[in-house]
Each structure stands twice: as C-alpha cells, then as structure tokens.
Structure 1
Amino acid sequence: MNQTARGLTIYFCGHESCAPGHFFGPAIRTHYLLHVILKGKGIYRTGSKEYSLKEGEGFLIKPQEVTYYEADPLEPWEYAWVSFAGGDGERLLREHIQEETGYVYGFEEGNEWKRCMSKLVELFLEGGDRQDAMTGYFYLLFSMLPKRKEEGEFEASYLLRAESYIHHNFSYSIRIEDVARHVGIDRTYLYKLFMKHKNISPKQYLTAYRIMEAKRLLEDTELSMTETGLSCGFHDASVFCRCFQQAEGQSPLQYRKGIRTGSLGYNKIP
C-alpha cells in the first residue's frame, strides 16, 4: 500500500481480542507499529521502561527496538494496530507523541478515535486500491491526539494560523470571533497573543492589513474608491474613507494622487 507521494507507507493493519496474559516478545519490528487500545488493559515494555495502559491509550513500537507487551490477566486488552513508515508518518509522531516518553499516548475524550481506527483496519482487510481512504483515516486518527508543543510553540502556531486566515479572508465580512474559531482558541486568548507578539489587537491587525491591501490597489489599479474599499473588506465607503484617513492621515483619493506624482508608497504591517 505505497503512499510515497505523501511520504507515508501503510504496510499492515490488524485487530485482536487478547486472551488473559497473552504476550508478544521480546522482539523487534521493521517499521513503526502503532497500537490503539480499544478496551481492557495491559503492559508495554521497551528498554528499561514499562508502561501500564488502558482503553483510550496506546503504544508505539519503533523500528529495530526490542519490545514486549502483555494483556492483563483479569481485564485483557483488545487492540488494533497499524504498521507504517515514511517522512510524513515521522512528522506526525514528532507533533503528537511526547518526546519524553516517545512510546505512549492517549486520545482526547470521546469515541471517534475507535471508529476511525476500526475503519482503517476494515479498509486494509478489504484489500484493493484503498490507499487514499486509508491515508485519510490515518491522518484523522492523529488529529484526535493532542499536539505536543511547548507553550511558545503553541503561541507561534496559533499566531501563524490567525495571520494566515486574515491574509486569505480579509476581503470578506470576517470578525475576530471567526479568526479565533478557525484557530481553535477563544477571542480573549487571541487578543493576548496579538498584544504580546504584535503589540496591536487582532482587530487593529485586520484593519491594518485591509488598509495595506487598499493602498496596493490604489497604486496598481484604476478601481474607484468604492470598489477599492469593497475589495478589501470595507463594505461601507464612508467607513473605508474614515479608517484610511485615520491610518494614513489623508483620504484614499489624496493617497492615489500622491502616488501619481511618485511621492508615496505603501508599507507592510508588523
């Protein structure tokens, strides 16, 4: 099941309801092997470390490392697994499985991860050319794991996503609530991030970006003032002119006239 175009190869998927005390190993594997515990519990051992795991958790077997795992004698686990390799698979591991342990993980609340893993196994067992569908469920499964990042990395990621959303949607009637929802954080936290890293609020950033784009259109096109404002997300000509005046100290028309004389240019926002 070669997924080299995406940097991911899925080699095998399976499912097992273990008998009490059932074990495997010590042994090594050729590829990454991700186990998802559907119910019950057991232990996983690698090197000098041993982990007690239960439903909603799982363990990662790394290539060429000696591992051992055993079902609980009273509540033996039922698990599913997927064997994989490739750069994209390694990227997902770095983003979602904690470096300190590197071997165990836990899904967030809910049971959607169970359905996702079961579907991945089902598609593999059906055979045929199901690469795209299997890859989709593989990515979806990882999306249900919390990302493992330091606070600073989280902040940078949130800020980047917020800026990207604004850059691609500034011409629409978006609100700061829309930006926060897209990023996955509340509006208050988004405000704190912008003030901390940009020294302006999200609303000010959105307005500044719209003004910057308006200046570009005033320089490069023959659009009217109304058309320019509408193209940059100002759905009222008077609001556009007022915001532009406050930001630039002159009206859009005055700015265009200055451009025509070669005395003005536009600057980027922070």
Structure 2
Amino acid sequence: MAIEEEQEKLKAEFDSKLGPDAFHEGWQSLLKVDSAFFSASVSLASVPRRKSYLSRKEQVLIALAVDCAATHLYAPGIREHVTSAAKEGATRDEILEVIELSSTLGIHACNIGVPLLVEVLKEEGKYLEDITRPFDQTQQNLQQEFTEKRGYWHTFWEDFLRLDPEFFAGYLEFSSLPWIKNVEGTSGEGKGALEPKLKELVYCAFDAASTHLYVPGLKLHMRNALGYGATPQEILEVLEIATLLSLHTAHVAAPIIEELTGASN
C-alpha cells in the first residue's frame, strides 16, 4: 500500500474513533513520521471513548483537567478539549469550573510541605508549642467552614491550619468558590456548575496524572467521589484518560522531528 494511501486510511480510522475535531498538529506530524505509533496511540486513546462509563461531555472535561493542570499546561489539548466540551453541550460556566477546580493543585506544596516541617520541628525539638497548641476559636470556625463548604475534612489540613490560619482562610475562599457560587440555570443554588461527583473526579484526574501523582489527594478524592455515587468503572475511566497524557510526548516531539528531519516515510 502506498504511504499516502495508508495515511488516508489511518486518518479515517482516527476520525471514526476520536472525531475529526481532535486531530491537531501533533497528531498530523505523528501520522507522517511514525504511522505505526500513530495507529497504536489512536487505539489506546479510543478505549475510554468506546466504553463510555462517563458521558462524552464528562470525559472531555476530565481530559481538560489533566491538560490545564499547572504541572502540565498542554495548550493544544486545552484548546481541543474546550472546543470539544462546548460541542458536547458543556456551558461556559462548566468549563470555567474545571479550570477553577484544577487551579487548586498548587496547595499540595502545603499539604506535603507543612507535615514535613512539623516532622522536622519535632525531630529538632524546636517550636513545639507552636505545633501542638489546640485550635483557638478562629481556627475552629475555619475548620467548620471548610467542612461545610468542601464537604469533608482531612487530618493533613490540621497542621496547616494551626501554623497559618490566615493563609488557610485565603485558600478556603479560593478553593470553595466552585462549591458555593450561584450559577444561572443550575438546579442547586450556591453549588456551582458541576455536580459534586464530577468535581471530585476532576480532582482525581490531575492528582493521578503522571506529572503530579499526589497519592494522599487521589485517595481522598476517590473516597469522596464514591460517596457522591461514582462507580469503580467511572473512577477507572478517569485514570485511563489521565494516562493519555503520555501521548503528548509524541504530539510535541513529532512536529519538531518533521521540521528538522522531514517525514521520509
């Protein structure tokens, strides 16, 4: 089979499995420089779409969470998934809410760093009063407010709240917005645009991504998602979509290879 004919066949397969709107420069170059890997990549990427435990709109929003996370920021994917989400019926508010939820990733610097700081202080025998004193009334109120707005509490917040209630309060306001804001046209007032289950699956997506792999958060949000009615198959599908981040290696590299060496095959 001629090279052009083979590529046309593979592109038709891509369109049938992933949709023509998903075809961007990275895919196009990969098709030219390594058609076999292109085909294998399409097969992998199409599995969640074919099984569809999550709706197509939910799948696209999960993929957006992976690509827009601060640890990845894959602009071609962000553009693709925003476009696809809108075509699948996602509203502007729903798309923006994925961005808002994904923007909480940075707090993991504190979730990991503060317990380590406390561990070091204990080992050094320094500032023990600061890390053992009970919550004052302000801190108790913040803990209650967090629990009410976010729907859970976890022990990894306690040292953070104890050592810097001001920054904790700032993060509480920042992270709670998707859970409490009024969105026109939604069923529940003051609950944001997305259902709680999907919010928790968004957290799972960027925590599970290979650029982050934040185990405490992933386990917590899996538990929360189950509590909101998620099935194991839905959570697994989130992990499968997050796995597709690895395809971006070829999507970024293939155009460069094509430019510098030419597509000789």
| TM-score, shorter chain, exceeding 0.5 | no
- What is the TM-score of this pair, normalised by structure 2? 0.28
- What is the TM-score of this pair, normalised by structure 1? 0.27
Q: Which has the higher strand share?
A: 1
Q: Which has the higher helix share?
A: 2
Q: If you compute each CA radius of gyration, which structure gives the higher value, 1 or 2?
A: 1
Bigger relative CO (Cα 8 Å, ≥ 6 apart): 2
